[in-house]
Amino acid sequence: MTSTLEASRQTASWMTDDVAAVADLARDFFTRYVCPQAESAAREGRPDRELYRQAGEMGLMCMSIPEEYGGGGGTFAHEAAFLTEQTLAGDTSLHLGVHAVIVPHYILAYGTEAQKKRYLPKLASGEWISAIAMTEPGAGSDLQAMTSRAVPTDDGFSLSGTKCFISNGLNADVVIVAAKTDPNARGAGISLFIVDVTERSAGSDPVGFSRGAALRKIGQKGQDTAELFFEDFPVPADAVLGSLNGGFAQLKTQLATERVILGVAAVASMERAVELTVEYTKQRNVFNAPLFAMQNTRFELAECATIAHVSRVFIDQCISALVDGHLDVTTAAMAKYWLADQQCAVIDRCLQLFGGYGYSLEYPIAQMYADARIQKIYAGANEVMKELIARTL
């Protein structure tokens, strides 16, 4: 029997027949190919990069990028279905929101025709893996405080600086890097560069560029997160993405999509947590009766299911607005902060109903608890989201 939460996913206004077909294909990809490699990804601190290529061969990469650049010619709805199935399957190792949606749309929106033709097809095929480097040790949510510098040279720029917490940092072949090109300005002095680090020699990175070890994290241990170091790294003049000193405005515009992506994962995670907990409490006997028979259990799950359903309605509205080109940055900030908060709260309440088993990594709810916590932090801390919202009141 289809659960209420599953039915709400299937009847979303953006869930057309072709989007549903993507969901089916994505479900098969994650359950058959990705999730069986979870333990090895966690040990290595990164996923097998061949999984990106495999997803590309299945047509699951860059689905909202035009076909002329190797993409699927679809909309963000196709990406949302893909990312939802990733969360429902329990995978957190492939950072596909960054690789398949965020970075490609920076290039599509601001890139030259030459940049689009060079990078987008290889990202869509999974041959190259992408990352975006904004955060620095002294500049997290306050991007205007970044200290990375791109100094003009005779044939381009010399890039120096340290970037931290970079998703896909170890596997990345292409990195969009934010750096100051006018050190006397704050946001008005930031530019974006497409930095190509594919030219490796004998397995090492190009001169002037290096990567730190995989970061040891509370959760998402199979997801590739690392520091990136640039020291007088040569960047050609045609690597500038968009207009010089226009990077901060570009970042503000594109971050709205990133925040909806996090909202998509948050809602699917809540739904998965409730569904797993309902199944467990109906099977687990306590005092000679199923745990689900206890009123407190039923009431807790009723509340969590309601929160998940309300969250589904909200994120569906955001997805539709993004597809139609009407999503505003304030609503995106609301989605990011509120849905991340609810994700952490719902998973915590569900874990409690597992009792001691909820603290064991043999049960998925424990890993979900650890994985969820970062949602309140990245793509702009929730406190920053509230400040952005408050400015519009």
What's the half-sphere exposure (Cβ side, CA atoms, 13 Å) at 136?
19
- Four-CA torsion 34, 360, 371, 375, nearest 10 degrees: 150
**SS3 state at 183:** coil
Q: Which of 136, 258, 271, 275 is catalytic?
A: 258
Torsion angle of the four alpha carbons 25, 29, 35, 41, in this order, in degrees rounded to the nearest 10: -140
Residue whose structure tokens are 């600086």: 161
Active site residue 300: no
Structure tokens at 119: 């990078």
Rounded Cα–Cα distance for residues 34 and 25 (Å): 13
List phi, psi (to 5°) of 316: -65, -40
Q: What is the DSSP string of 255-269?
A: HHHHHHHHHHHHHHH
Scored b (16 or more CB within 10 A) or e, 112-130 reads eeebbebbbbbbbbbebbb
Which residue(s) pair with 158 in the sheet?
151, 234
Length of the chain: 393
Is 223 in contact with 167 (CB distance < 8 Å)?
Answer: yes
The answer to whether 186 and 176 have CB atoms below 8 angstroms apart is no
> How far out from the chain centre does Cα 244 lie?
27
- With vertex at residue 131, the alpha carbon angle to CA 172 and CA 21, rounded to the nearest 5 degrees, is 100
Cα-based angle 77, 78, 84 (whole degrees, multiple of 5): 85
Positions marked catalytic: 258
